[in-house]
Amino acid sequence: MQPNPAPTPPNMNHGGHEMFDSHEVLATFISVLDQYLIFDQYVKDQELRTILYRQHAFITDLYNICVEAFSTGEKPSHSTRVYKMQQNNNTVYGLTPGQPKKPFTSANEVNDQGVSGYMLGLIKSTGSLLGMTAFEMTNPVLRRVIADSVPNFIEMAYEIFLYQNKRHYYQVPQLTPQDMNQMLHSFAPAQQPNQFRQ
């Protein structure tokens, strides 16, 4: 019979793989926050600036509770907050003709369309990273903080998408009604099998 191992202190309750993932998550939060500060100088639209500031404040708070949970292994001073966007859910469908896109040739060309696109890319990739790392976290507190943050990044990305969409920066084409109807009805409900093989 093996003796019971000594309990692991909460701040040491991390696997090696989790240590690397946690560092990547925290470094990514710093990168997003730093880039949001850089973007501020290029923003002209007040609505985009409000989104930028609200998301920066939210991610700063999330970063702080993640650092706390990571370094102590215990519940942080407050729970993960819920991000609530201020946009409505109305999507503009269809394509509007415009000039072909191309890379900027000078930083002076950076505009609200570019900044909102950079923000969307950062938030989407960070949300994906959080989802992937939460699967393999061994510290239950840190895992819960990271997992609970995924829906918040989805909400932030959706907020930026809606901002872009109503300005025709992110256009949403639709299929013809006939094609859409065919695709909508191309699946049927599944039946439970009588039994699985033993």
Per-residue pLDDT tens for 180-197? 999 999 999 998 887 777
pTM, whole model, 2 decimals?
A: 0.89
Contacts by 151-156, CB closer than 8 A, 24 or more apart? 151/82, 152/58, 152/62, 152/80, 152/81, 152/82, 152/83, 153/123, 153/124, 153/126, 153/127, 154/127, 155/83, 155/84, 155/85, 156/55, 156/58, 156/83, 156/85, 156/123, 156/127
Q: Which domains does the chain possess?
A: 13-87+110-182 (1.20.1260.10)
Per-residue pLDDT tens for 70-127? 999 889 999 999 999 988 889 999 999 888 989 999 999 999 999 999 999 999 999 9
Mean residue pLDDT across the chain: 92
